[in-house]
A and B are shown apart, each in its own frame.
Chain A
Amino acid sequence: MDYFVQQIINGVTLGSIYGLIAIGYTMVFGIIGMVNFAHGDVFMTSAFIALITFLILTTLFGITSIAVSLFIMLITAMLFTSLINWAIERIAYRPLRGSFRLAPLISAIGMSIFLSNFVQVSQGPLNKSIPPIVQGEFVLFRHASYPVTLSYKQVIIWGITAVLLAAFWFLVARTRLGRAQRACEQDQKMAALVGIDVDRTIAATFVIAAALAAVAGTMYVMYYGVVSFADGFVPGVKAFTAAVLGGIGSLPGAVVGGLLIGLIETLWSAYFSIDYKDVAAFSVLAITLIFLPQGLFGRPDVEKV
């Protein structure tokens, strides 16, 4: 039982990170109907930006306050990653809009390879690590000799994820930009005709997706303390799995899907085999696509006669 509670805590933490990345997949899919395969590498790049920011802060400026350095890491990563994703959309996707469906997809795979290679060449192929930023934990309860703990890192991840999701929900449901995004998602031509700048709205979507991925990237660095150029692929595909499980195009679906994938992966590692955790997560993708192709929250495509 104690072991189980501990696994749930760990799974929700991992799931928060997947959920934040999955929102990026699902938003971009919703608005332009394209799976942005570069999104995982955008996440990885943001983790590197956070890591570099941390090193600059500690070595150059000698900042020791954890809160200050985490805050600056987060802001810097969000800013630069948004800029990168904005540029990717502008250069690699926008010129292909209106082209055949596979064109932007292939372009996305190209951007994914470009980003991971760029980071590999510029940062080196080895794992980059930083000393643990946040240490310490709450002991929730202790049974026999097994303590169930909630580390400060996990509290930070839960807190930031919850705050961001609330802000994000407000943005989509209540603001002008959110309305414009939903309008573009439902009928792009008509949205343009009622005065919405579709290109600007799509660009804003990529910026928001990147900002959320950057939050995930920063927390990834803080949680694991290590990142490599190849770390975009597997978390990226798992977040994509989360988006598909939740129903691609559905925002609450992405969050719930992320949490479920995090939990499945953690529980599988804890009770079965840690070597097969990726197999477990990706089996979910196959099973979802076969038995529940519209996902948990997705709307099935209704063909009107």
Chain B
Amino acid sequence: MPLLVDTLLRVEHLTMRFGGLVAVDDLSFDVREGNITALIGPNGAGKTTVFNCITGFYKPSEGRLGLRHGKPAVWDALEPLTDSGARRRVHADGTLFLLERMPDYLVARQARVARTFQNIRLFPGMTALENLIVAQHNRLMLASGYTLLGVLGFPSYARAERAAMERARAWLDRIGLLARADDPAGALAYGAQRRLEIARAMCTQPVLLCLDEPAAGLNPRESAELNQLLRTIRDEDGVSVLLIEHDMSVVMEISDHVIVLDYGVKIADGAPETVRNDAKVIAAYLGLGDEEAKIEAEIGS
């Protein structure tokens, strides 16, 4: 597969085995910068496993996961970095990371890949505002010179803290929760918690936002709001999004690129319209047998 200039994340030959079970089998795909990429597939297809590998929760059995910060020229460092055994290589134009070599918290902190989970994992006892400020902890630590400057009351730290507060408020405004800033996150409605979780992930200033079923449990109106939010994240914040989703109204409407998994194997990869009409995808979703699927595919081609 040729390396396109705008590739942000390159997944190559990703394989994840749990004992004898192969959850993901030799999967390769690219996530392009500025795109919303959807990873879809029937239950048990291995989508969340792929997410867990990308975000460092699982160490893949095999495969390479390259992520670029900065200019495309950074990709030149891919082979030297792989051979060196290091986690990342700093380049004049940016940094290249190999995510399969990093534990989850470093994927989040250094490679700046933010993720959400299928179930909501806000800090329920903290207010909505605090949830967004705590996500900027790392930046504030740097601004405070690891507490020293902050304790000494340097103006640069006060400025950083004000900026963090403003960013948090701006996000609350965007997700329509400004009026509930001081309510505990656990007391918000389900849909609001979902949006707050995305806002919190965005407050960590990610280069890639990974969302695991963000539309699960949302009503149609909330789903539409989510679509709008994800579009603005792509268009205004310029953050690439990788999402797992079952809700086809979300997937087909907002995705630039769809990857379909079935039993851990990629069965389709392309624009939403292409994938929608792909015979193998239809077979996987409608549950045709392998034989019928093959016939269908042949007729289709």
Are A and B bound to each other? yes
Q: Which residues of A contact B (CB under 8 A)?
A: 176-177, 179-180, 182-183, 186-187, 189-198
Give CA–CA (A209, B133) in the complex, Å. 25
Q: Smallest CB–CB gap between A33 and chain B, Å?
A: 15
> Known interface pairs A179-B126, A182-B126. Does A195 touch B150 (Cβ–Cβ under 8 Å)?
no
> Known interface pairs A176-B141, A183-B123, A186-B126. Does A194 touch B135 (Cβ–Cβ under 8 Å)?
yes
Q: Which residues of chain B have C-beta atoms less than 8 A from A183's C-beta?
A: 123, 126, 134, 137
Instruction: Determine if B134 and A180 form an interchain contact, defined as CB atoms under 8 angstroms apart.
Output: yes
Q: Which residues of B contact A (CB under 8 A)?
A: 104-105, 108-109, 114-115, 121, 123-126, 130, 133-141, 144, 147, 150, 200-201, 203-204
Q: Which residues of chain A have C-beta atoms less than 8 A from B136's C-beta?
A: 195
Instruction: Determine if A186 and B137 form an interchain contact, defined as CB atoms under 8 angstroms apart.
Output: no
Give CA–CA (A191, B109) in the complex, Å. 11
Cβ-defined partner of A176 (8 Å) among B108, B115, B140, B204: B140
Q: Smallest CB–CB gap between A15 and chain B, Å?
A: 27
Total of A-B residue pairs, C-beta within 8 Å: 63
Instruction: Determine if B137 and A193 form an interchain contact, defined as CB atoms under 8 angstroms apart.
Output: no
Residue of A nearest to B105 (CB): A192
Give CA–CA (A176, B139) in the complex, Å. 11
Give CA–CA (A220, B125) in the complex, Å. 35
Residue of A nearest to B201 (CB): A194
Instruction: Determine if A190 and B140 form an interchain contact, defined as CB atoms under 8 angstroms apart.
Output: no
Cβ-defined partner of A193 (8 Å) among B105, B124, B141: B105
Centre residue among B104, B134, B141 by max chain A CB count within 10 A: B134
Give CA–CA (A186, B140) in the complex, Å. 21
Instruction: Determine if B104 and A186 form an interchain contact, defined as CB atoms under 8 angstroms apart.
Output: no
Q: Which residues of chain B have C-beta atoms less than 8 A from A192's C-beta?
A: 104-105, 108
How would you classify the secondary structure of chain B's contact residues: helix, strand, loop or mixed? helix
Give CA–CA (A196, B130) in the complex, Å. 14
Q: Which residues of chain B have C-beta atoms less than 8 A from A182's C-beta?
A: 123, 125-126, 130, 134
Instruction: Determine if B200 and A194 form an interchain contact, defined as CB atoms under 8 angstroms apart.
Output: yes
Give CA–CA (A182, B186) in the complex, Å. 14
A-B contacts, 12 of them at CB < 8 A, read A176-B137, A176-B140, A176-B141, A180-B134, A182-B130, A192-B104, A193-B104, A193-B108, A193-B115, A194-B135, A196-B137, A196-B138
Instruction: Determine if B121 and A187 form an interchain contact, defined as CB atoms under 8 angstroms apart.
Output: yes
Instruction: Determine if A195 and B126 form an interchain contact, defined as CB atoms under 8 angstroms apart.
Output: no
Instruction: Determine if A194 and B125 form an interchain contact, defined as CB atoms under 8 angstroms apart.
Output: no
Instruction: Determine if A194 and B137 form an interchain contact, defined as CB atoms under 8 angstroms apart.
Output: yes
How would you classify the secondary structure of chain A's contact residues: helix, strand, loop or mixed? helix
Give CA–CA (A187, B197) in the complex, Å. 14
Q: Which residues of chain B have C-beta atoms less than 8 A from A194's C-beta?
A: 108, 134-135, 137, 200-201, 203-204
Residue of A nearest to B107 (CB): A193
Q: Which residues of chain B have C-beta atoms less than 8 A from A179's C-beta?
A: 126, 130, 133-134, 137
Give CA–CA (A191, B134) in the complex, Å. 8
Q: Which residues of chain A have C-beta atoms less than 8 A from B109's C-beta?
A: 195
Instruction: Determine if A190 and B138 form an interchain contact, defined as CB atoms under 8 angstroms apart.
Output: no
Q: Smallest CB–CB gap between A8 and chain B, Å?
A: 34
Q: Smallest CB–CB gap between B237 and chain A, Å?
A: 17
Q: Which residues of chain A have C-beta atoms less than 8 A from B135's C-beta?
A: 194-195
Q: Smallest CB–CB gap between B210 and chain A, Å?
A: 11
Q: Which residues of chain B have C-beta atoms less than 8 A from A191's C-beta?
A: 123, 134
> Known interface pairs A187-B121, A187-B123. Does A195 touch B137 (Cβ–Cβ under 8 Å)?
yes
Q: Which 5 A-B pairs have the closest CB atoms?
A: A195-B138, A192-B105, A194-B135, A186-B123, A193-B108
Q: Which residues of chain B have C-beta atoms less than 8 A from A176's C-beta?
A: 137, 140-141, 144, 150
Centre residue among A182, A190, A196, A197 by max chain B CB count within 10 A: A190
Give CA–CA (A187, B134) in the complex, Å. 12
Cβ-defined partner of B124 (8 Å) among A186, A189, A196, A197: A186
Q: Which residues of chain A have C-beta atoms less than 8 A from B137's C-beta?
A: 176, 179-180, 183, 194-196
Instruction: Determine if A186 and B141 form an interchain contact, defined as CB atoms under 8 angstroms apart.
Output: no
Q: Which residues of chain A have C-beta atoms less than 8 A from B203's C-beta?
A: 194
Give CA–CA (A180, B144) in the complex, Å. 15
Give CA–CA (A193, B111) in the complex, Å. 11
Residue of B nearest to A198 (CB): B105
Q: Which residues of chain B have C-beta atoms less than 8 A from A197's C-beta?
A: 141
Give CA–CA (A180, B104) in the complex, Å. 18
Residue of A nearest to B112 (CB): A195
Instruction: Determine if B108 and A186 form an interchain contact, defined as CB atoms under 8 angstroms apart.
Output: no
Residue of B nearest to A180 (CB): B137
Give CA–CA (A194, B141) in the complex, Å. 13
Q: Which residues of chain A have C-beta atoms less than 8 A from B121's C-beta?
A: 187, 189-190
Q: Smallest CB–CB gap between B74 and chain A, Å?
A: 23
- If A179-B137, A189-B104, A193-B115 are given as contacts, then 16 extra A-B residue pairs at C-beta distance below 8 Å, sorted by A number, are A176-B137, A176-B141, A176-B150, A179-B126, A179-B130, A180-B134, A182-B123, A183-B123, A183-B137, A186-B126, A187-B123, A191-B123, A193-B114, A194-B135, A195-B136, A195-B139
